[in-house]
Structure 1
């Protein structure tokens, strides 16, 4: 019997317990994954995760590296992604780094350089690229079926409900930012994947001394504008809409299989890309891990990721305060003074 690839997981928070653990168990039952080890600075979280995957918790990151694995999944806070990924690659292991790949373009490039230097493989955990629906949308855009693209709108967010382990999630020094760095990294990655890099951008948020809960990004392309609105408190339909001279397309955020589109002159169509009744959202994480394993080919190519990482970095650098008309003049002045402390 051939044993599967050993996998190590660094960071045992919500994304690991909710998504990576079930995916790893599916792969383990299929013989694709072998031994699973886990490390988290919070020993309790490491033990909880290890129980979910029938794995072994270890007491330190160095111990995890010494045990060796075919793949290390780095799902720790973003500030640790670069150092932990490079350390794993220098120890001879392939890495799947959860989004955002890095905080800033320089860190992302250092990780890519480390993969080249060590002869290891670095994959990026942008799981939405594994959805059959988002792959099909990219094909439709590039095919010209919608004609010349005339506009794109994206709304994503709603009342915050992610099961965070502590306040560091809302710390710029730990997470690298707020809703733009969190949700926006998925959104901007998809837009880069579908349309390429914009010519210009405009960025506004409501961060007044802390991290932003709301932001507005405008991306100007040669023939259209993409408007992105992200929120942690505003409940609106989470939909991306792409309009073209020959039709339109709409996608509900995080739907792996379904989208709607219409070619002018025809009735609107609801399309499902589900190929198996056993496929589900979780299967996207299975495909992501499979692609990142030694010999796999399905992980998100890190060569295309630094563009969106760099755009987020530039957005924060060129930030403008959002207009908040409910603030009195004194409150607005105080908010601006706090924003200047960033």
Structure 2
């Protein structure tokens, strides 16, 4: 069975990832692009040779089995509900929605419609992240003690709508937009944190710098530093009793192990796979979950889990008094 697919939202992530992936995965047929910006929708359709365009899901629903929702997150709740009402399965970009309440509404709608809801936490398909707990054991590194994760550079994503810096479209800035990948992995590996300390540089707008300290079960400590104004290493370091495992935030397979005074490079997959093959795997998993009537690899409940953590962090920030003006750039409070 080939899944007839529509992509809702014709912004940068559709252009860079979802459309090329849909055209390369044999389990799906990309039928249409959907966006209320008809000019942008037509431009991408012409670029990729997609024959049909539509201004809404309703216009094209009868020709589809499923949709990828790749819009800004503030409209995903309404669009997902509409898709389920038309009997369509949904792969939703991360974040699933802006709030836990919106996530719950989407999950309920999927359940009532008896349709698949998958969330695009694509880093879960990276072999390195999937195998990380086993790799720590294979290299004899012992008990994981702490994780130090940093990522940052001046913001340069070619957004079409500008939603990542607009308070009317997003409840937060760099953490919910980009930090969500690392946070999702941490929850996946270690469970829910027992203790959280959070700081950012917002004084009422959207944060550009974040510092987050968490204590996970089994006394695993995590420090996460993120920025979209400062240059920081894109690196995750897993410190354990007998050594460390280190990899780049965007690494698919490559990592290094520091042990007994030596650091050696490794790959968890041979031959190495790349980002594109992981994107393909995500879409294949979605299509196969529809055909096989099974849960997708990343469910709506998993997508909501990281939003709950982010909401908790933002609530902690709101509970404290704010300075009257921003201090030194990069400073958090």
TM-score by length of 2: 0.88
User: What SS is found at the alignment partner of 1:238?
Assistant: strand
Aligned equivalents of 2:233 and 2:318: distance in 1?
Answer: 26
Q: Which runs of 5+ in 1 are unaligned?
A: 323-330, 337-342
Given that 2:164 and 2:177 are in contact with CA atoms closer than 8 Å, whether structure 1 keeps it comes out as no
Number of the residue aligned with 1:295:
291
Number of the residue aligned with 1:280:
274
Number of the residue aligned with 2:234:
238
Q: After the TM superposition, which residues 286-325 of structure 1 pair with which residues of structure 2 at under 5 Å, given as runs?
A: 286-293=280-287, 294-295=290-291, 299-319=297-317
**Alpha-carbon spacing, 1:180–1:41, altered in 2? closer, same or farther (3 Å):** same
Which of 209, 216, 237 pairs up with 1:214?
Answer: 209
Deviation readout 1:229-260 (Å, 9 max, x if unpaired): 11001112100111011221111011111111
Given that 2:22 and 2:30 are in contact with CA atoms closer than 8 Å, whether structure 1 keeps it comes out as no
Number of the residue aligned with 1:116:
111
Number of the residue aligned with 2:16:
18
Aligned equivalents of 1:316 and 1:158: distance in 2?
Answer: 22
Aligned equivalents of 2:24 and 2:131: distance in 1?
Answer: 25
User: What SS is found at the alignment partner of 1:208?
Assistant: coil
**Alpha-carbon spacing, 1:34–1:225, altered in 2? closer, same or farther (3 Å):** same
Residue 267 of structure 1 deviates from its aligned partner by 4.4
Task: Report which stretch shifted further, 102-111 or 122-131.
Answer: 102-111
User: What SS is found at the alignment partner of 2:95?
Assistant: coil
Which of 99, 103, 106 pairs up with 1:104?
Answer: 99
**Superposed CA RMSD:** 2.5
Aligned equivalents of 2:36 and 2:139: distance in 1?
Answer: 49
User: What SS is found at the alignment partner of 2:232?
Assistant: coil
Aligned equivalents of 1:110 and 1:25: distance in 2?
Answer: 31
**Alpha-carbon spacing, 1:113–1:321, altered in 2? closer, same or farther (3 Å):** closer
Question: What count of residue pairs does the alignment treat as equivalent?
Answer: 321
Q: Which runs of 5+ in 2 are unaligned?
A: 328-333
User: What SS is found at the alignment partner of 1:62?
Assistant: helix
Number of the residue aligned with 1:328:
none
Number of the residue aligned with 2:188:
193
Aligned equivalents of 1:252 and 1:117: distance in 2?
Answer: 40
Aligned equivalents of 2:33 and 2:91: distance in 1?
Answer: 14
Aligned equivalents of 1:19 and 1:301: distance in 2?
Answer: 20
User: What SS is found at the alignment partner of 2:44?
Assistant: helix
Number of the residue aligned with 1:5:
3
Given that 1:101 and 1:108 are in contact with CA atoms closer than 8 Å, whether structure 2 keeps it comes out as yes
Aligned equivalents of 2:111 and 2:324: distance in 1?
Answer: 49
1:32 aligns with 2:27: yes
Given that 2:149 and 2:224 are in contact with CA atoms closer than 8 Å, whether structure 1 keeps it comes out as yes
Moved over 6 A (4+): none
Aligned equivalents of 1:140 and 1:81: distance in 2?
Answer: 36
User: What SS is found at the alignment partner of 2:148?
Assistant: strand
**Alpha-carbon spacing, 1:217–1:145, altered in 2? closer, same or farther (3 Å):** same
Residue 145 of structure 1 deviates from its aligned partner by 4.1
Number of the residue aligned with 1:125:
120
User: What SS is found at the alignment partner of 1:299?
Assistant: coil
1:227 aligns with 2:223: yes
Deviation readout 1:268-294 (Å, 9 max, x if unpaired): 3322134446x4211211111111112
Aligned equivalents of 2:166 and 2:109: distance in 1?
Answer: 27
TM-score by length of 1: 0.86
Aligned equivalents of 1:82 and 1:143: distance in 2?
Answer: 42
